[in-house]
Structures are given as C-alpha cells and as structure tokens.
Structure 1
Amino acid sequence: MSPRRLAFAVLFSFALSAEAAAQARTLVYCPGESPDTFNPQLSTSAATFDATSRQVYDRLVRFSDRDARLEPALAESWDILEGGRRYEFRLRPGVAFHETAGFSPTRPLNADDVVFSFARQRDPSHPYHAVSGGRYRYYQGMGLDRLIASVERVDELTVAFTLSEPYAPFPAVLAMDFASILSAEYADRMRAAGTPEQVDRVPVGTGPFQFVRYDRDALIRYVAHRDYWRGQSPVENLVFAITPDASVRFQKLRDGECHVIDAPDPADLPAMLADPEIRLVRHIEPDVAYLAFNTEVPQLRDARVRRALALAIDRAAIVEEAYHGLAVAASDPVPPTLWPDGDSAGDGDPNLAQARALLAEAGVEGLSVDIWAPPVRRSYLPRARRVAEMIRADWQKVGVFATITVPEWREFLKNSMVGEHEALLFGWIGETADPDIFLEPLLSCSAAESGANRSRWCDRTFDGLLAAGRRESDPQARTAIYRQALDIVAGEAPLTPLVHSVAFAPVRAAVTGYRVPVGGGHHFYGVDLK
C-alpha cells in the first residue's frame, strides 16, 4: 500500500482539543451547520461552500485574499474575443487532483475537467446532469443556462466559453463556488462502477485540503493536499466539528476545543473582547438580509401593500437590538461596498404615516401575513426569530397582524423554493464585486423559475435593465443602468432589504494567517498554529 493510500486508510484518532490537536498541526473549526452536499454545484448554502469549494476545490480564477481583484487560479491567463462573446482560458500545467482510498488519478488537470464541470450543469442530456437531484440553483438562477452557449476543449490546456451575448462580469462569475472544477476522470470511474453519486459524496478536487471522512452532522475530516499547486498548507489536518448551538461553540472556543468558530451570537461579543486567548477578525460582509414577499399570494400581489409593509419596518432598531450594532441598515439589496450605492432606493427609515396611507389606498384592512424565519444562524441573520418578532411589532403599529413560523431547515429551503411561504426572512452573500451577483439571483425572472428568487416576482423591464448592465463594459454607464433597476425594485418592493452585516470571526490567539476574504466564508489555506 502506498504512503498516500495508507493516509486515507487510517482515520484520525486524536482528541478534539485544540491544544492537543496543535501538536499534530490540526486545525479545528466549529461551524453551526452541516453541508447539504459535497458538490458546491448543487447548493446555495454557505456551510456547504465552506466544506467543499473553499477547501477541496479550485476555480479557474479567484479573488485576491485582500480585495475583490481577480487573479489567475487554475487558469494562468485568459483572452476576451469576439466582442466579449468568447473567453479562452489557458490552464495551469501539472495541477494534481486528490487521491482517495477509492480513486487514484492517472493525469493532472486538463480541459476535459473544465468541460465536464460545466457540461454537467448546462446539458440536461449529460449523464451526470440528473445525479443527486440535478438542481443547479446558482447556475440556473444566474441565467447561465441561457448565457453559456458552449464550453469547448481547444487543446489539452485551453478551454473556450462561447456566450450568447457579451457579459462583462463573466470572469468574476467563474470565481464563485458553483464554478468549482471537478475531476472528469473520477466521474467516469464512478459512473463505470455504477456509483455516480459518489462524486457528490466523496469529493475529489485540486484544492488545498483532501476530503477524508464525514460523520453526518458531527465531523468532517481533511488532510493537506501534499501536491497542491500553490504549495502544501502549513496545517496538516483540518477538522470541522459541527456544533449547532452558538453558546456551545463559544464555550468550546474558550475551552480550547475549537480554533475558529462560525456565526457567534453578537451578545457574546463583550466576553470575546475581554478574553486574551480570543481575537476577533472583522470585516463588512458583501451580503444582505432581506424580507421576501411572495408576490403570488393574494394579499401580497399589490405593490402598494408590499411598500407599506416595507415602510413600517424600523431597520435601525433591528440593527441595534438583533445585531447589537454589528450591521448597517440596508436601503437596497446591493451592499454599500459595491456600486451603485443605492441612494436611488431611499434611506430605509420607517414612515408609519405613509405606510398607513398606502394600505388605505389599496383598500386593505385586517391584513394578516405569516413570516417564515430560518431556524439556523447565519452571519447576515444571526437572530432570525428576533428580527421576525420586531417586524411583527412594527406591523402592528399600522394595523397588520403577523404570525411567525420557524420550519425545520431542510423544509424551509425546499418549501420556500416552490412558494409555500407568504413572507420569509433570508439573506444572500455575493462572492463577486458586481451588482449583478445580487440582482440576478434574488430578483430575476430566471431565478423566480428556479426557486432562488423567493419573492417569485418577475418584471421584464427590470430583466431588460439587468441584461443591458451585463453587456455594458463602461463602469459609469453600468452604474446608471443599475440605478434604474434599483428604482424599479424600490417601487415594486418584491423584497425589502434589512441590513448588511458586519461580520467577525472569533479565533484562538494561537491561530495565525487567518483572514476573511472580500466574498466572505472560511478559507483555511495559509492558516497556521503557533
């Protein structure tokens, strides 16, 4: 048995103490959620991306660790041809795939892997398209099923994307998690064995960490990829110790059982700041927490009613009470760190008199709305039920009655995609510095069809402006186009943006090299322990 095979045959037997783990160069991360798959193409979950695309996989391009600039990754370079309709990517030679107990690659990365990774998502006749359910929510929600006309192998290390129309943000889109590059050879091997779903359960990528084992809702284990093209990670072992309760995560951090924790309760911030063994890594998230109105339910079809409900919400109070000040009030879905800055959509202050006037104009009395709140904590929505309670209290001031429902997490995701809710609290994290990454998945007609657009709102004028913005390469002209689109959103109010979060990642003082990139998430390549 080869040394690498032996590494995968022998499972870890260490105690989950950060101090003990440090002796084995093991980093312990405690997230609040489990991944819903090990294929990022099939998910919109940040927990899934943290467990897969940010550790196991790479993409053709990546964002800088310090800002939103694009950098080469699996592609060394790219050319934009035919007026922005064709992109040719030259791949990095010699990039090694992972080896597992059940798979040994016979070749490095080549164009076939890129073609496979996108053909699976775009081609309904592809043998892998329907595997594991075949729902490619990012790919479809962003309209890529219509935008990408073909993905072709030009030669061993060159792949070409032909688009149906020019799309200025296209390279940035390829830096997103769903655009991770999978192994075509591994997929062929698993299909021949009659187990194609293994590709989505036991991931094989080119990233800094190799997947070893998943104990459902408990642990995920990884080892450093020895042949990683950027150099081997200084951390030899990586463990995700899944811990749903925020207070338990904090206690485990204080006790040294975790090095890094996810989604802390803002109420614990003072204690964290007072602890010399803990430091907080802060950044403003490129995200939005929002309340989506299902525009297909009878009581919410009238835009005047939706605007009234939005006007009644006190976002400043939500920032202080539910986020302990660790957020900024949102006036539109696009975060203030991206352009346009949203001035055209208003300042988001409550206006109870105008809300009552709009309800009266719409002839609405005794309105009742059920608000779905997610049962899990997210960086953009750490106390969803409390936010729902505050909205309910705000609506009572204008004569609207609200109930609150907290479904089980998987039911929340599944049922909201098919419109079983009336209104729901949710959020979005954009991994690229472009307004289209927020507006297309949250509000476009294609996203309404795929289920990612929880308001189920479709406006063809709005969609036309998005299309114009995607074709326009001049930044000022694009800003003007997106301002028009945001004005439509403000008038129609299919959703009401609530806040953009100020995130902080609590880490042990022994952790070095940890930073939160512009797109958010937890990336452990380059992290070390003192």
Structure 2
Amino acid sequence: MHDDTTRSLSFSALRRRGFLAATGVGALALAGCGGSGSGSDDGAGDGAPKKGGRLRAAFAGGGASETLDPHLANLFADAARAKALFDKLADYGADLSAVPRLAAKWESNTALDRWQVTLREAAFHDGRPVTAKDVLYSYRRIADPKQAFRAKASLEPIDLDASRATGERSVEFVLKRPTAEFPNILAAFGAYIVPDGATEFDKAPVGSGPFRFVSFAPGRSAVFRRYDDHWEGAPHLDEIEFLVANEESARVNALLGGQIEYAHELNPTTARAHEDQGQIEIVRLRGSAMQAFCMKTDRPPFDDPRVRQAFFLIADRQELVDGALSGAGEVGNDLFGKGYQYYADGLPQREQNLGKARALLKQAGAEDLRVTLDTSAVAAGFTEAAGIFRDQAKKAGVTVEVRMGSKDSYWSDILDQGTLCCYRSGAMPIEAHISQRLLTDSSTNATRWRHKDFDAQYQQAQSTRDPAERAAVYERMQRRLYAEGGFLIWGFADWIIGTGRQVKGVETDAPANTLDWARFDKVWLA
C-alpha cells in the first residue's frame, strides 16, 4: 500500500513486487504436487471440522529474496507464513482493537507510561517455554537501529533499555510518554516473538505458532506441519503449503484446475465471473482497503480549506466505487476506518453537491482551477478512479489533468511531490492512522496535515484512561478532519479470496491485516 512502507501491510507493495517477479501456473504445478487429501473425519456431523490433509495456498510473492524472518515480513505472503510459524503478544480483532495472543493480559499504571504484560503458558516448537526473555530479545532485535525491521516505528514509544522482565512470564514495559493505546503496539504488524538469540530463520526456524517448519524454497514454496502443542489447540490441517503465483490469472487457473485450494487476492471482475457458479467459493473481506485522494494541505490550491471542502463535494462516491472498484466495496465519508473502533459514524454521509462546490471555489478565488492528479497502475482502481474524478470535477468547472506515474517509485514520489494523488491504505487502528499520518512529526504525513493543537488532542487521547472519554477526544479530532482534512476518502474496498468448495472455516467478517485473516489453523478440508 504505499504511503507507509514501514508501518502497515502493503496492498500496493504486494502488487508492485508481484509485477516484478511474475510466475505462472508452471511454478504451481512443480511446487504443489503434494496433494490435498481431506484426511479422516473426526467430526460429529455435517459441518464439523475434519482433521488431516494438506491445503495449498497461492499468494503473490517476492522472488528469490523471500525470507521467513517474521520481522522482515512485508508482503501478504510473508505475513501469512509468519502468522503460521510465529505468534505476537496481541493482534487486531475485526474492529481493529487489540486482542490478546501470547499475552494473557496487560495492565497499566495510573500515568499510562508503565504497562505490565503477563504471558500465557505457551511453548516454542522445540519445547522451550515462551518467556519474558524471548519477548525482550524480540523487541530489542526489531528496534535495532542498524536494521530495517517492519515494526521498528511501532515500537518507538517503548523505552526498551528501561523495560525489564519481572518474572519468567511477566514483562514491565516502560514507555517514553503516556500511551493509552499501548496494546496496539503489541499487535503491530511484524512484532512477532522469536526465541532469545534467534538470528537464522530460513533453514529451520523455530516459532510458537500453530504450524512448524518443514521446508522453504524462496520464491516457490513453503511447507509447514501442524504443531500439536500450540497453546490455542492444534490446527485441523496436517500441513499447509504456501505457493507463489504473482499473476492473478495463474492463481485462478490453478484454483479451477485443482492445483491449489486457496487463491489470495482476486480482482472484482474475476470474483463476479465465478461467484455462485458452483466451481469455487468467493470470500469478500469487507472494509480491507481505504481508497482516497490525497490533497497536500501545505501548498496551493489545497492550503485553502475552502478548496478542500469543494473537492469533498465534487466527489460522487458511489460512482467511484462502482467504476473504480467494480462495485466491490462501500462508499467512504472522508474518514479512515469505517467500522473500526473509535470511528465517528454519527457524521452525515457526504453527498455530491456541485453547486456548493462551485460556490466554495468562487469564495476561494479558484473558479477556473486547474490541478494535476497523480496516479499509477501501482494499485487496482487507481487509474480508473482518476479518470472518473476528472470527469466529476469538470462538472464543477475544475480541470483535472491526470498524470501517470511509475509503479516502482509512485509511493515514494507522492509523499514529497505534487498536490493531489490517488492513495490507499490497508487496515490499521484509527489511532495508528492518526499517529503515523496526521501528526506534525509523522513520517508518512502525505497530506501535510500539521497542526499543533491537533497534536495536543492526540496526546490528550493517549493520556486518557477512560475509554469513553478517549473515544470522545478521537471523535472531536475526526470531526475536524471531516470538515477540513486532506484525505478525500471515497470508498473502502473488499479484499477478495477464492477457495475450493471443500475448504471450510475461512473467516469472512474481518478485514485483511487482522487476526482472523489467513487463519489456516482454523481451516479444514471437507
């Protein structure tokens, strides 16, 4: 995705690297020859989970440079493999609130700058218990300034020098400032717990996840076997095999041909063609990707809030969802995180109002406005959205010139250049969206939204113990963004997965990036 290349799991990075390392069905045919027998049925009746079998899942991959180091996970394929082999202290639920994993519980002091985390009884694949020592080693490894590990920025609020083990299964985290949303840090993408001293992950990695390592061929396949002693219970499957197919057509054809049972990332057109046809199942993960236009608020014409408000009113959101997403999504309301914890859902749904948009532009002295909209084929729907919005703006007297950018440099370029661009993001907590993108010192502040009083509101929220009072602060912040922010958030896209009809137990209610996405330990073959 990629405004935040070091923060949240990247939808667009997945696509970008997929184009660079395309593989076809042949790779699947060679690597996926293990078969997918359903195994013996120990269920009590129809619909009961069955034990056994190997599920073959195809993802876009990263080529020969792929690694099983969970702290280097970047693509969806990386994240799915890491989730199978390793655990985090927490993960995100369907509403993007943190839920416990290896952490049995957490509690803070009154000042919210010290948090005590108690670990559940869990063991690594070699039988060693997961301890506080492993947690501190993992976090200090991630925070190493010489490394570029994905979760490093998320761990920044923790003073890891001062943090310490207070028992074999308890850790006191000392924070640099009050952090009411500290559990979000524990759930951060890539913040996996590895054994103390572990440095090698591609030959025989040891984790505490529901599957244990069998084999790994970078850019081709990885095979993991059920870990019977996992703290949450053994998976239903005997084995999971991850295969690489960067072209969507290869994944679909392999699924239709029975070479795989799970195809990640299908486009809406493919989904419509196969939905309810009987051959495969289509799973839609709602609200997985924010779709937006990003207006830079520190330069003309968007340094005038009246121009930003006019652009909010130019957008016909339903037309954008129907045209750019082929209807596979829902309209947005210029706020991130629809359906997530703290989302300000009481604000009226913004509708197109070209007359009011024209009046605002006139007030701003921008009646004959011309603006360049940067886009790229780097992400699905970007070029279509740009063309649709260009035509919508024309009706308000605004000339939008669409400029195509390079897929390889788009995400780095848009952070510094231009005034208006296509933008999207995967799921993350609303608090993380604010802290990573909307504070004066945020490293991925693509809208250049920099207001000291807004920063102070965020710190107020982080210093507020009572959840209802904290939610009220977040609502005030969102009301301001709704009125004058730089993100024109027009939609939320579905993330689409295809499975064989024999695959059961795939979660449908949670966005990608959350705990229940790619939960192969909960899946079975009927």
Shift of 1:466: 1.8
- Aligned partner of 1:182 in structure 2 is 194
Alignment-mate amino acid for residue 424 of structure 1: C
1:469 is the counterpart of 2:466:
no
Shift of 1:497: 0.9
Change (3 A) 1:442 1:210: farther
Residue 334 of structure 2 contacts residue 487 of structure 2 at CA under 8 Å; is this kept in 1?
no
What is the Cα deviation at residue 407 of structure 1? 2.2
2:8 counterpart residue number: none
2 CA distance for matches of 1:47 and 1:423? 31
Does structure 1 residue 153 correspond to structure 2 residue 165? yes
The equivalent residue for 2:315 is 313
One-letter identity of the residue aligned with 2:388: M
Question: Among residues 430, 437, 440, which one is paired with 2:435 in the alignment?
Answer: 440
Aligned-residue Cα RMSD (Å) equals 3.4
Residue equivalent to 2:218:
215
Equivalence for 1:497:
489
Distance change >3 Å, CA 106–CA 329, structure 1 → 2: closer
Aligned-pair identity in percent equals 21
Aligned to 1:429: 426
Higher helix share: 1
Distance 2:389 2:62 in 1: 29
Structure 1: runs of 5 or more not aligned: 1-11, 98-104, 123-127, 188-197, 377-381
Matched residue type, 1:119:
R
Between the aligned partners of 2:173 and 2:363, the Cα distance in structure 1 is 51
Verify the 8 A CA contact 1:344 1:483 in the aligned structure 2.
no
Could you tell me how far 1:214 is from its partner in structure 2? 4.0
CA contact (8 A) 1:246 1:264 kept: yes
Distance 1:275 1:343, change over 3 A: closer
Counterpart of 1:167 in structure 2: which amino acid? T
Structure 1 letter corresponding to 2:37:
A
Output the CA distance in 1 between the equivalents of 2:482 and 2:414.
23
TM-score (norm 2): 0.79
How far the C-alpha of 1:472 sits from its partner, in A, is: 2.3
SS in structure 2 opposite 1:238?
strand
Partner of 2:376: 373
Structure 1 residue 254: deviation in Å? 1.7
Q: What's the CA shift for 1:107?
A: 4.2
Query: How many residues are aligned here?
Result: 477
- 1:293 aligned residue: 295
Please name the residue that 2:280 is paired with: 278
Distance 1:167 1:49 in 2: 26
Amino acid in the other structure paired with 1:525: D
| Deviation for aligned residue 1:489 | 1.4
Q: Does the 8 A contact of 1:395 with 1:402 survive in 2?
A: no
Q: Which amino acid aligns with 1:244?
A: N
Q: Any residues of structure 2 matched to 1:47-446 within 5 Å, and which?
A: 47-52=77-82, 54-62=83-91, 71-93=99-121, 95-97=123-125, 107-122=128-143, 128-131=144-147, 134=148, 136=150, 139-140=152-153, 144-146=155-157, 148=159, 150-187=162-199, 204-210=206-212, 212-216=215-219, 218-225=220-227, 227-285=229-287, 287-296=289-298, 298-342=300-344, 346-364=348-366, 365-373=368-376, 375-376=378-379, 382-397=380-395, 398-409=397-408, 411-417=409-415, 419-432=416-429, 435-446=430-441
Query: Which residue in the other structure is 1:5 paired with?
Result: none
* Shift in alpha-carbon separation, 1:151–1:446, aligned structure 2, 3 A: farther
In 2, Cα distance between the equivalents of 1:116 and 1:82?
27
TM-score under structure 1 length normalisation: 0.78
Contact (CA 8 Å) 2:158, 2:173: kept in 1 or not? no
In the alignment, is the contact (CA less than 8 A) between 1:292 and 1:496 conserved in 2? Answer: yes
Q: How far off is 1:305 after superposition?
A: 2.9
Distance 2:439 2:68 in 1: 27
The one-letter code of the counterpart of 2:56 is V
One-letter amino acid matched to 2:114: R
Q: Does the 8 A contact of 1:344 with 1:486 survive in 2?
A: no
| Contact 1:147/1:164, CA 8 A, preserved across alignment | yes
CA–CA distance in structure 2, aligned partners of residues 331 and 68 of structure 1: 18
Q: In structure 1, what is the Cα distance between the partners aligned to 2:502 and 2:68?
A: 29
**Alpha-carbon distance between aligned partners in 2 of 1:245 and 1:327, rounded to the nearest angstrom:** 22
Q: Does 1:486 align with 2:473?
A: no
